[in-house]
Amino acid sequence: MSNVITEQLTKAGQKIEHDSFAIVDREAGERGNYSEAQWQIVRRMIHATADFEFNGLAEFHPDCVSAGLEAIMSGAAIVADVEMICVGLSKPRLSHFGVVPHHFISDEDVIRNAKAENTTRAVQAMQKAQYLRLLDGGIVAVGNAPTALLEMIRLIKQEGIKPALIVGMPVGFVSAEESKDALAQLTDIPWMITRGRKGGSTLVVAAIHALLSLAETKQKAS
């Protein structure tokens, strides 16, 4: 039986999406060591980008899926580094679980503090999210700004912040690869990453939508 909330809204849309997933499954080749649930995330990332390299570039902390599902089903907040992620996430899918996305990258106080401290807006945005107590138990979604991810790692190591899950997929050439490598060194905080320079908000949205679909399936089975 298909999901109701996390599927396309029309039968025509559902058929196109299902056919696309079938093509991805058929053409992806070997799936490495991905679990079935992890593959649901990877194939949606491939579906969103038409890039089969993510079959291999995507990596997961062992507790990533279970922690993400628990967070979603408990209505945890999502803190994104950029507005694009919040815009891309389906409002009906989020509201079904009571999940609210947040971003602070364009807030006046964030811009002002970034200028005053000669740092980036992304760093200040994560600090604001911490001030608002949104990070502990929340899902942190980073698709654009490596400095946001590096600040999250600092907050975890130095201030004891414990997000439920970090989706760390910043794209780019300066510190993107290094920030993801650093995140993958964490053992006590669940994460998912894309190795190397590739990443982006589209991938983060796809990964979270996959988690939402898995959460609905689990919810229906309980």
Alpha-carbon distance of 207 to 201, in angstroms, equals 10
User: Is 18 known to be catalytic?
Assistant: no
Nearest CA to 151 out of 164, 172, 166, 133 is that of: 166
Using DSSP, state whether 142 is helix, strand or coil.
strand
Classify the C-alpha dihedral 152-153-157-162 as positive or negative: positive
Using DSSP, state whether 78 is helix, strand or coil.
strand
User: Would you state the torsion angle of the CA atoms of residues 107, 112, 117, 120, taken in this order, to the nearest 10 degrees?
Assistant: 40
Identify any residues that bridge with 29 across adjacent strands, giving them in sequence order.
none
Contacts 24+ apart (CB under 8 A), 21-27: 21/47, 24/52, 27/52
- Given the residues 18, 47, 102, 103, the one annotated as active site: 47
The Cα-based distances of 74 to 40, 68, 115, 121, 183 in angstroms read 21, 10, 37, 29, 24
Alpha-carbon distance of 154 to 161, in angstroms, equals 9
Q: Which residues are catalytic?
A: 47
